[in-house]
Amino acid sequence: MNILGIETSCDETAAAVWHSQAGDGGRILGEKVASQIETHARFGGVVPEVASREHLATLPMLVEEVLHQAGIAWPDLDAIAVTAGPGLMGALLVGTAWARGAGCVNNIPVLPIHHMEGHLLAPGLDHQLPPFPFVTLLVSGGHTLLVRVDGIGCYVQLGQTIDDAAGECFDKSARLLGLPYPGGPAIARLAESGDAKRFTLPRPMMNRDNLDFSFSGLKTAVMYAVRKIDDMDEQTCADMAASVEAAICEVLVGKSIRACLQTGSQHLLIAGGVAANLTLRRLLETQAGEKEIEVHLPRLEHCTDNAAMIAYAAAQRMEQGIAVAENWDARPRWPLEELSSQ
Ligand code: KG4
Ligand code: ZN
């Protein structure tokens, strides 16, 4: 089975081909991501209309390149999987309309895939998924969720952020420090040479006995701390970056381990753009290891937006025989839990 994945929900145009056959774990035959970061960086964030236009200009050629890389042609495809939401409406429309057109012309079924389900299952691209149920920490630019995965399409939300997402906190803190968009990687780079103990920042909700998060207070604390600094030299900026990173990561790790202990899960997966953060990955492995919880990490390029995860999620759905909705549209808002009730 060959599945073409297409992802255009935000600022990366991506295509990939996933190949699997009965009994094997499957593999990626080709994948490419065309990042729009440079285009949006000068605006300090994603400009939706610009994103849509870039997707439109980039996607057709990118798909041809990926098919060439995979060594297959359109008739070799069994399905096209496309991100149908959540995301930017215009950006989603480009991907879904193009996928529908390609599916129609080539007589290939088109499967709408939930972007967060793609992230959630992405660790399976690089290593076999652990047995169900397991816990996944899903940390992207717009979402911070702890999910119990009971099976493909069966997701129980254990906790979520009540305000800003972790990625948003990285991005907003970076902006306060005058760092470029996207803020997460910029903070992570600077933090390498910083002292995380120099600034005392809150660990919001850390000691509350639930699995929810809150990051907007942390961002405000960063704002006040930055205002107090008269001379923001390079070292001070690095120390602040390290302090912010430590605060975010410690909360994410603490709550993820609590989720595993509360649900009795011995397997913890992390996914989404923030999962590319090396401090988070190291801290998670050390602290989860102490509790005999096994951590499953996707490769760095499969943490951030990519199309392999979309094709892979579709493959898992098809293998489970999960029916595809006849009528569907791009959905900028689409709660993950709705998948469980389908
Ligand atoms: O999953 P993703 O690529 O796109 C969304 O679906 O949102 O996540 C993007 C988020 C951004 O907030 C970005 O700053 C953050 O992931 N991010 C990171 C790192 N790489 C990306 N945050 C911290 N450290 C990183 N290395
Ligand atoms: Zn994403």
Q: Whose CA is nearest to atom 8 of ligand 1?
A: 273
Beta partners for 49? none
Residues 257 and 329 in one domain: no
pLDDT at position 326 = 80
If we measure between CA atoms, which residue out of 153, 169, 154 comes closest to residue 205? 169
Residue 33's Cβ-count burial label (10 Å; 0-12, 13-18, 19+) is middle
Strand 79-85 and strand 110-114: the pairing is parallel
Could you give phi then psi for residue 198, rounded to 5 degrees?
A: -70, -40
> How many Cβ atoms are within 10 Å of 90's Cβ, its own excluded?
18
Residues 57 and 105 in one domain: yes
Q: Cα of 304 to ligand 1 centre, how many Å? A: 6
pLDDT at position 74 = 98
Number of domain units in the chain: 2
Q: Which ligand is nearest to the CA of 143?
A: 1
Residues 117 and 138 in one domain: no
Indicate the helix (H) or strand (E) that contains 138: strand 134-139
Atom of ligand 1 nearest to the CA of 12: 3
Range of the domain at 180: 129-297
> How many Cβ atoms are within 10 Å of 180's Cβ, its own excluded?
13
pLDDT at position 99 = 98
pLDDT at position 22 = 77
Atom of ligand 1 nearest to the CA of 143: 7
Beta partners for 33? 14
Residue to probe by mutation, ligand 1, list 92, 115, 145, 274, most atoms within 8 Å of CB: 274
Three-class SS state of 143: coil
Q: Whose CA is nearest to atom 23 of ligand 1?
A: 184
Residues 150 and 45 in one domain: no
CATH number of the domain that 8 lies in? Answer: 3.30.420.40
Q: Cα of 304 to ligand 2 centre, how many Å? A: 6
Question: How many separate helices (H) and strands (E) can be counted in the chain?
Answer: 11, 10
Residues 44 and 15 in one domain: yes
Residues 148 and 276 in one domain: yes
pLDDT at position 342 = 66
If we measure between CA atoms, which residue out of 24, 46, 111 comes closest to residue 305? 46
Residues 287 and 190 in one domain: yes
Taking the chain, what is the end-to-end CA distance rounded to the nearest angstrom? 24
Residues 288 and 177 in one domain: yes
Residues 66 and 115 in one domain: yes
Note the Cα 178 to chain centre separation in Å: 24
Q: What angle do CA 108, 330, 183 make, to 5 degrees?
A: 115
Residues 174 and 237 in one domain: yes
| pLDDT tens series, the chain, 342 aa | 999 999 999 999 999 999 998 778 899 999 999 999 999 988 988 999 999 999 999 999 999 999 999 999 999 999 999 999 999 999 999 999 999 999 999 999 999 999 999 999 999 999 999 999 999 999 999 999 999 999 999 999 999 999 999 999 999 999 999 999 899 999 999 999 999 999 999 999 998 889 999 999 999 999 999 999 999 999 999 999 999 999 999 999 999 999 999 999 999 999 999 999 999 999 999 999 999 999 999 999 999 999 999 999 999 999 999 988 889 999 999 999 999 866
Q: Which ligand is nearest to the CA of 33?
A: 1
Q: What angle do CA 303, 119, 25 make, to 5 degrees?
A: 90
Residues 136 and 117 in one domain: no
pLDDT at position 23 = 73
User: By the 8 A CB rule, do 109 and 324 touch?
Assistant: yes
The binding-site residues of ligand 1, defined as CB within 6 angstroms of any ligand atom, are 10, 140-142, 167, 170-171, 182-185, 188, 272-274, 276-277, 304-305
Q: Which residues contact 196 (CB under 8 A, 6 or more apart)?
A: 239, 242, 243, 245, 246
Q: Cα of 199 to ligand 2 centre, how many Å? A: 30
pLDDT at position 341 = 67
pTM value? 0.96
Residues 78 and 160 in one domain: no
Strand 110-114 and strand 2-7: the pairing is unpaired
